[in-house]
A and B are shown apart, each in its own frame.
Chain A
Amino acid sequence: MEKKQKTYIEDIDRGIYDIKNEVRYSYKAEKGLTPEIIKEMSKEKNEPQWMTEFRLHSLEVYHSLDLPPWGPDISEVDMENIITYIRPDTNLNTSWKDVPEDIKETFDRLGIPKAEREALAGVGAQYDSEVVYHSIKQELVDQGVIYTDMETAIHEYEAIVKEYFMKAVPPKDHKFAALHGAVWSGGSFVYVPQGIRVEIPLQSYFRLNAPGAGQFEHTLIVVEKGASLHFIEGCSAPMHSVINLHAGCVELFVKEDATLRYSTIENWSRNMYNLNTKRAIVDKNATIEWVSGSFGSKVSMLYPMSILKGEGARAEFTGITFAAQGQTLDTGTKVIHAAPYTSSNINSKSISKGGGVAVYRGVVKIAENAHHSKSTVTCESLMLDNASKSDTIPVIDIRNDEVDLGHEAKIGRISEEAIFYLMSRGISEEEAKAMIVRGFVEPITKELPLEYAVELNNLINLELEGTIG
């Protein structure tokens, strides 16, 4: 039989995601981490005294903590060589016309202004360390909804920021949370008042353009009693030869009877260490829904956590991870059931190919008092070749007897028989694989807003292109 040609490619052409702009800035911090750099940055940002002190305290915590003893190797991250703060040469704009042309073009290519016109109630666009564009529909403003960048929020809504800032994720939580506390900049602030249901999603997009830089945006969302919100977060960066670091922090406060859906597609370049911390505090009968897509980065450690604090609180987690050559994506979710009648439903899927490593790492903890709680965990992994790796590390810690728990984990390689079956109907090998992968992630795609579902499918096609064999 004819020998089949196999083609291997080093890295995919990530198209629009890889277009780099010239680096221009109005302020750039020195590389590295010292109290002087932190003070200088806080001063440059004109922050209140308490924030400067918070940063300096976080820096001390950072130096006192070790790297986590578990998980992927991140020893390559050298903070002495990361630029922690780089302010683009533009202020916050409320019209795309005022955004510098190359930055605007970048967001155009990513489809942000178009999505804003068609499907969103508000948009924030961050470029390197600061938000360069923000908008919100007037009707939401009239209802008291606040959606702005964190830098504005700390001045205009100082009391709310001070009440919640790094209360869900304290700096001592882990080394990169402390780092975040010290050098954070940019990010979005959302406040939805009691009873207001925001029907159309808000979206923030984070783009890191500069090489050797870190992005440390802080997203703080408070959804008051009986209110609801869908927030979408997108992230990307072009490929550079030096390491970039993303250590953002997301803090979500979902009050009684409120609902928050937090959707993310992270498509970082393959030189990125993505060490992001996300956490939701969920009150009585409230719901947090995470939809999380992790694609790019060299290493990701991402485990959004839900703390079900009030009776009847619910958490849903739907995650998809795609690890290709040279990538280690260590992702999952944590749920702490800290009250009775709480429930969680975790559905995670991962794909690895070309020697990529995809690990599901998760924790479900049901506390002594959380009787009549329910949790279902389903993890599925698909490996597209023999070089790729996949693992599931689910930790389940139950401290009382009256719980209902289901757990299912499946790890498998892409079925040769299924590929043959589809090929026997005229479908090419490449398309057959893409079909199987798209089908595998379909339960996730349908949870995503349409344009992100399309993006996810494009990413899958991009990842699979030219990889016969």
Chain B
Amino acid sequence: MSKKLLEIQNLKSSIEHTEILKGINLSINQGEIHVIMGPNGAGKSTLANVLMSHPKHEITEGNILFEGESINGFSADEKAKIGVFLSFQYPEEVAGITVENFLRAAKSAVTGEPVKFLPFKKALREQMKLLKIDETYGSRYLNVGFSGGEKKKNEILQMAVLEPKLAVLDETDSGLDVDAIKVVAEGVNTLANENNAILIITHHKKLLDYIKPNYVHVLLDGKIVKTSDGSLADEIESKGYEWLSNQGGV
């Protein structure tokens, strides 16, 4: 049996005194791909943000264990350093710093070691090729003037460079056309291996045509109400979320 990577125990969180997560339990092992689905406002993005220690979200109860240790008090950069990654739903534009320089700084920060200029450039080019990102993006300012699809591909590029143990993809597929979804899915499939795990947050099924998850969870009103295999996504596609809201739990 593979190693347990993430364990979320009865996690509750609030933002500006409003409770959003109302007791999440979730366990992810190495080598697994999990999907969380749910309607707007269910708390999907909140879960992603809490996992990455967004400063506006506060954990009010429960525990997040990563490789067996509580990481509740970790800041975002500390989490990045132990191998947690979040692909943002709306990646920020940061003017004046190029994608390449940013990624080199990030790689160096995450590994704690200096990153050599030329080998990094070469590796970055290969990753870009894989994700069908034009080389010139390396010298463009981080996400500035990028289309929605380009921003999302840039997130996956960052994931490829930083090689996290746990990657959380928050609505990475939203706003993408079919071709872009394919590219993102290919990227994710290439990067997924037996030593890492991926948690995909989405409210479309489209991405799941290309990525085969081990588990699909449904999040409703701050709680996971159902967990099943990939077929659950098909069921949701045809029936919506209504029928689940009456189940009151797994």
Contacts and interface: CB of A to CB of B under 8 A. Distances in A.
Interface in A424-443: 424-429, 431-432, 435-436, 438-443
A440 B95 contact: yes
B97 A439 contact: yes
A425 B158 contact: yes
A442 B144 CA distance: 14
Interface in A370-420: 415-418, 420
Interface SS of chain A: helix
A428 B92 contact: no
Contact of B95 (A2, A422, A439): A439
A427 B77 CA distance: 6
B77 A440 contact: no
Contacts of A416: 55-56
A1 interface: yes
B94 A418 contact: yes
A1 B55 CA distance: 9
B96 interface: yes
A415 B77 contact: no
Nearest to A445: B96
B94 A435 contact: yes
A415 B92 contact: yes
Contacts of A421: 88, 91-92, 94
Contacts of B91: 421
B206 interface: no
A423 interface: yes
B128 interface: no
A192 B5 CA distance: 70
Interface string B62-76: 000000000011011
A441 B94 CA distance: 12
A431 B109 CA distance: 10
Contacts of B88: 421, 424
Contacts of A439: 94-97, 141-142
Task: Identify which of B53, B76, B95, B141 gathers the most chain A CB atoms within 10 Å of its CB.
Answer: B76
A424 B96 contact: no
Interface string B37-73: 0000000000000001111101100000000000011
Contacts of A442: 95-97
Given A428-B109, A435-B97, A439-B141, A423 B92 contact: no
A19 to B, nearest CB: 31
Interface string B148-181: 0000000000100010000000000000000000
Contact of A420 (B55, B58, B95, B162): B55
B77 A426 contact: yes
Given A1-B58, A420-B54, A426 B94 contact: no
Contacts of A427: 77, 80, 105-106, 109
B97 A438 contact: yes
Nearest to B91: A421
B53 to A, nearest CB: 8
A91 B168 CA distance: 68
A213 B130 CA distance: 64
Given A2-B73, A420-B54, A425 B80 contact: yes
B141 A425 contact: no
A436 B155 CA distance: 18
Given A415-B92, A438-B96, A423 B105 contact: no
A226 B165 CA distance: 63
Given A415-B92, A421-B92, A429 B97 contact: no
B97 to A, nearest CB: 4
B96 A423 contact: no
A433 to B, nearest CB: 11
B200 interface: no
A441 B73 CA distance: 33
Nearest to B86: A424
Interface in B70-118: 72-73, 75-77, 79-81, 85-86, 88, 91-97, 102, 105-106, 109-110
B52, B53, B80, B92: most-surrounded residue (chain A CB, <10 A): B92
Interface of A: 1-2, 4, 415-418, 420-429, 431-432, 435-436, 438-443
Given A1-B58, A417-B92, 18 more contacts: A1-B53, A416-B56, A418-B92, A420-B54, A421-B94, A422-B94, A424-B85, A425-B80, A425-B109, A425-B162, A426-B109, A428-B109, A429-B77, A435-B102, A438-B96, A439-B94, A440-B95, A442-B97
Please list the 10 inter-chain residue pairs (A to B) with the smallest Cβ-Cβ separation, ordered nearest first: A439-B96, A442-B96, A426-B109, A426-B80, A2-B73, A423-B76, A426-B110, A425-B106, A421-B92, A439-B97
15 contacts: A1-B59, A418-B93, A420-B52, A420-B55, A420-B76, A422-B94, A424-B76, A425-B106, A427-B77, A428-B109, A429-B75, A435-B105, A439-B142, A440-B96, A443-B96
